[in-house]
Each structure stands twice: as C-alpha cells, then as structure tokens.
Amino acid sequence: MVMDDNFILTIDLGTSGPKVVLFDRTMDIVGSAFAPCTMKVADGGLATQDPAEWWLAINHSIQEVLQETKVNAQQIAAISCTAQWSGTVAVDESGNHLSDAIIWMDSRGASQINKIITGFPKVEGYAISKLIQWIKKTGGAPVKSGKDSLAHILYLMEKEKNLYNKTFKFLEPKDFINLKLTGKFISTAETMTLHWITDNRDPNQITYDKSLIKLAGLDISKLPSFVDSTSIIGTLKDDLAHKWGLNPNTKVMGGTPDVHSAAIGSGAVKDFEGHLYIGTSSWLSCHVPFKKTDLQHNMASLPSGIPGRYFIVNEQETSGECIDFFRSNILSNQGNVQTENSDKQFYQNFDRLAGTVPAGSEGLLFFPWLFGERSPIDDHLIRAGLLNLSLHHTQAHVFRAILEGVAYNTKWLLKYVEQLINKKLEYIHFIGGGARSDLWSQILADVLDRPIKQLEHPMMANARGAAYLAAVALRWTTFDQISEKIKIRKVYQPDNSFQSLHENRFKLFIRFYKKNKRLFKEMNHN
C-alpha cells in the first residue's frame, strides 16, 4: 500500500538546545519537543558547545515527538534543519567531530581577523583595497570582533594547529546535523556567507571566489561544496530510518541558518516587511531587492534563505539571554521569582512583576551587553550593567529595566536598518521566545513607535521557516503564499503618552555608550 506523504519533520538547533517540530501539509504544528544543551563560556572570548550533546538531544526529541503524536512515521516526507549561524564544527573524514563546536558568540579569532583586514590606507580598521573586494563581491566584510566563521577557522589554524591539520571539513552547525542525517558533507549558499569567500553579486548564481579565498587565507579543500536551501541533499541514513521508524527514502533538505529561517517563518517575506526576533540573541530584519552594505553599523543585505533574494543581516548579542542570566546567576530562591519554577511559570512571574512598575522603571536603566555587541556597533569589549540603581528600586524594577533596555538597544538598531533601506518599517512581526510576553510586545511598540504584530506560536518561527523551505521544495506551497498563511495573535499599537519619556531615555542610553566605550576597552582589553 502506498502511503501519502503528509508531514515534515524539522530540527531547530538553537543555542539553548534543539526543538524538533512536526508539521502537517497545512503547516500546522502536530507536535514538538525540546531538549536543553549547555554552553561553555570563558575569559578570552571562548564560547563553545558539544556536538555530541546536540545529537543526543536531537535523537531524544525526535523520538519523543514521534511517540507522543503517534503519527505514522512512514508518512514523513522530509526532514528540514535550521540552526544557529556563524558556528564552526571541525570533523574528520568519517564525519566525527574533533572538538567542541565554536559558536556564534566566540570572539577568540579577533586578532586573526585584524591581521587579514589591515593595511594602508585604511578606513574603519580595514585596508581600503581589501574592503572594496569584500563589499563588491560579498556585500559585507569580516567583523573585527572575530565572531564570524572565518575567524573561527583562522584561530584554529594559528592556535590549534594539530586540530586544524586533522580536520577534513569545517561545517556550520546546520551542516553538521545534515551530515549526521545523510553522511553528506554539504552546505547551502547563504549559509557560507560569513566565511566571506562567496561572490554574492548575483543571488541566483553564488559561487566560491578564488581571489577572496586567497585574501582570507583559507584552504578551500577544508570547506564543503554548497547548493540552494531548497535542494534535496540526500535521503535519511538507513540506520536512522530504522531507529526512528521513518522511510529510508525520507528526503533531507539543504535547509538554512536560523536568521534566514526566522525571516521566512515570521511571515514577513515581502520586501521591506520587517520582523524582530528575540531569543538568546536578537535581530531586526527585512527582505530587500538589492545588495547594500553599512560597514560602520555592521549590517548588510546578504543572500536570503529564499533562493535569489537578499535580506538585511544584523545581530544583537544578548537579548532574551539577559533574563536567563539574571535567573541563573543573580536571583535567589528566596525572592519573589523562584529559579526552580518551570520556565513557563518563571516568565509569567517575571512579566507580572515587571508590569507593576511604570514605564521608565522609575529612573533605572539597563544595558544588555553581556557578551559585547555586533550591531549597530561592533564592540566585543562593552559590557552590561544597571545605571542609576537606588535603595527604592526593587526586583520588579530590575525586571522592567531589562525589558526596556533590550527595547532601547533594538531602537538603536532600527534607526540604522531604516537608514539602510531608506524606508520606514510600517510594522514589525515579532517572533522568538521574547514574543510570548504581552508586556514586552507593548514596551517594544511604545519604544520603537511601530505597531508590533505578535505571531501565534512565536517560538516556532525558525522551525516553521524550515518547514516552509521543505514544503516549497516538495511543491506543497510557494513562497508568495506564506504571508497569507501566517497567523497573527495580536497587534500592539504604540502608546503616544510614553513617547517623550522613551525618547529621552533612549538618548541617555546612547550617551552612556559613547561616554564609556573607552573605559570598557581599558577594563576588558586582553
């Protein structure tokens, strides 16, 4: 008997761990599971994760979803993976990882990057001749903070030569998962952008560029070949198909990184239609019909997860992570918010307390730079803090200040996104874990002075984007139809009565950075 193909299984490997989500043909969620993963951070800019822990968590989550939904696993047509971007996994010829994965927060490669970008004459720290090549062909340039994939590889080449020499391929996290699924060492065009060696001038014909490879000093044999995000790179390995009960002919998609899949899963797929993601990190993006670069504010239009399209790429390092940091490292179990509570209860209590404090947090101002910043300033030495703390402030004030501080940081980014596209974003789709908060949605509307469209199931946006890529490849739908199918839970309108207050506090936010960036450099320079 021939079974209908009715489902798409997605793997969304975030920094906090993988979500596995099962979608039906209408892109409704059938079931999901999550398993946490740990992150290692240390002085000197180290930020890593264990790929073995990723894979164990993925296995557990897949089996949990299949068991709880009780769907016929033989009807799963495809597996589509999305994952944290700008990470590096060194693997041998057998596909085994050789060390912990260097993730997007790791800045140990800063000195190696600064060696290859320097020269005379220079602007913003870049040799002009090199900068022209990068911007002309790629649309951007390596970030000086050393957090790009290129920096990771150059760091290993110089500081861990034995590991570098043993490496067969350096893979992005998504491509490592696809390797585990198919045995194929392969990537996708948009995924490889942050190696800064692809010619992106024609988004329909992206290729490795010999002159950029030479400029970067990379060995191209240690990098994977690539295809489009909607390409089928292979079928599921027989042992996994047997283990999970799937058909051995289950297709595995090329997929796309989380920034790209979120842009699709947000439903904001039309040009100049904005979306904001707040998870561990955050970004503010939209699709655009052109290639353009703002080097000063570390953003550019780069190849999208939708083949043949561009979208704005930027990132703010720690957004939702600021809440989790306070929960794990500052709060005591004797306070109003119990750290041992379930995630859902914790965030509900957090919102409840923050909501008892008036707009402006009664003078308390928070800066969310726990691990430096990428956009709109590329500064890995600045750090987070609370300003103007006094005896009358309570835990609730701190909570609201965190939400407002991230909103001010986002407003800082919004200014330069709109400057780059030369348009005002008329509204913003809100996704990620932060979009579960009604209070944060309203704060963002007030601070940004833009309507905020809070999506249903906002934490599933990345997985939804991955599912749509597979659905397009399977010809179940088209990219043009996505915006019609996305469900908006609620639209938050700006409250004009707070406009003056937030404008004044935003100006203080920017002044604080400008007056203290040299002090941060002195305190944190290694």
> Given this model, what pLDDT does residue 5 score?
80
Question: Strands, E, within 190-247: which ranges?
Answer: 198-199, 207-208, 225-227, 232-235
Neighbours of 163 (CB within 10 A): 13
In whole angstroms, give the CA distance from residue 37 to residue 84.
13
Helix (H, G, I), strand (E, B) or coil at 33: strand
- Cβ contacts of 175 within 8 Å, gap of 6 or more: 89, 185, 186, 187, 188, 191, 224
Q: What letter would DSSP give residue 360?
A: T
Sign of CA dihedral 233, 105, 160, 154: positive
Please state the φ and ψ torsions of residue 182, each to the nearest 5 degrees: -120, -20
pLDDT tens per residue across span 28-59: 999 999 999 999 999 899 999 999 999 999 99
- Identify the helix (H) or strand (E) that includes residue 430: strand 428-431
Q: Tell me the pLDDT of the chain (526 aa) as tens digits.
A: 345 789 999 999 999 999 999 999 999 999 999 999 999 999 899 999 999 999 999 999 999 999 999 999 999 999 999 999 999 999 999 999 999 999 999 999 999 999 999 999 999 899 999 999 999 999 999 999 899 999 999 999 999 999 999 999 999 999 999 999 999 999 999 999 999 999 999 999 999 999 999 999 999 999 999 999 999 999 999 999 999 999 999 999 999 999 999 999 999 999 999 999 999 999 999 999 999 999 899 999 999 999 999 999 999 999 999 999 999 888 855 445 544 457 788 999 999 999 999 999 999 999 999 999 999 998 989 999 999 999 999 999 999 999 999 999 999 999 999 999 999 999 999 999 999 999 999 999 999 999 999 999 999 999 999 999 999 999 999 999 999 899 999 999 999 999 999 999 999 999 999 999 999 999 997 6
In this structure, the number of other CB atoms found within 10 A of the CB of residue 519 comes to: 11
Of all helices (H) and strands (E), which one includes residue 216? helix 210-216
DSSP letter for each residue of 449-480: TS-EEEESSGGGHHHHHHHHHHHHHTTS--GG
Peptide bond into 494 cis (omega under 30): no
Q: Where are the beta strands (DSSP E) in 141-292?
A: 169-171, 186-188, 198-199, 207-208, 225-227, 232-235, 251-253, 274-278, 282-285, 287-288
Q: Any residues with CB less than 8 A from the CB of 469 and at least 6 apart, and which?
A: 80, 229, 230, 253, 255, 256, 261, 264, 305
- pTM recorded for the entire structure: 0.91
Tell me: the pLDDT tens digits for 64-105? Answer: 999 999 999 999 999 999 999 999 999 999 999 999 999 999
- Euclidean distance between CA atoms 347 and 492, whole angstroms: 20
Six token digits for residue 328: 């794990």
- Element (DSSP H or E) covering residue 137: helix 128-138
Q: What domains can you pick out in the chain, each with its CATH number?
A: 7-255 (3.30.420.40), 296-304+313-524 (3.30.420.40)
Q: Is 430 exposed, middle or buried (0-12, 13-18, 19+ CB in 10 A)?
A: buried
C-alpha–C-alpha distance, residues 5 and 53, integer Å: 31
